[in-house]
Amino acid sequence: MEFARVRPEAPSQGLVEFRGRVWRCALGKGGVRADKAEGDGATPLGLLPLRRVLYRADRGPAPACGVPVEPIGREDGWCDDPADAAYNTRIRLPHSARHEELWRQDAVYDIIGVLGWNDQPVVRGRGSAIFLHLARPAYAPTEGCIALEPGDLRALLAAGCLGFEVLPG
């Protein structure tokens, strides 16, 4: 399994290295942490396998990559409520517990790489919705995800990246 390396350069900025190429990325506003917890805004330290890729088919073609790819719809969400039985899983909306909507007005979730964090098994409160997604303007910090520009994200996926090794700063 080929993982890209993520090296923090600043608390919420980093570089992704894969097969001799380097891309700029945004990281969590809480920096990189080994003791990731729900709501801390940190990107988890360690290995994050790419489980699958979700995308908005109305905003572009499916990305080329080595993991399963599927379109999202308006009713797709992700539960981030540690008290809910569906914590850190994809859900159908409406959902009574706290959650994120995957179908967003901005472009951030037009491509979503679901990263393997706190999913085998899920531990309540250890963090949820850790994704690979599109960067906001000026690489603004994420809530704990890894974010790249659209062309860079597509290139990284097409190059065969199957996950990330997030290194300490």
Please report, as a single letter, which amino acid is at residue 1. Answer: M
133 in active site: yes
| The predicted structure's pLDDT at residue 1 | 77
| Residues in the chain, pLDDT under 70 | none
Q: Quick: pLDDT tens for 19-55.
A: 999 999 999 999 999 999 999 999 999 999 999 999 9
Segments in 10-149 forming alpha helices (H) = none
The catalytic position among 65, 79, 133, 161 is 133
Dihedral angle of Cα 56, 62, 67, 69, to the nearest 10 degrees: 50
**pTM (whole model) above 0.85:** yes
| The predicted structure's pLDDT at residue 83 | 98
Counting runs of H as helices and runs of E as strands, what totals does the chain give?
A: 1, 14
CA pair distance 81, 74, nearest whole angstrom: 20
Annotated domain spans of the chain: 4-166
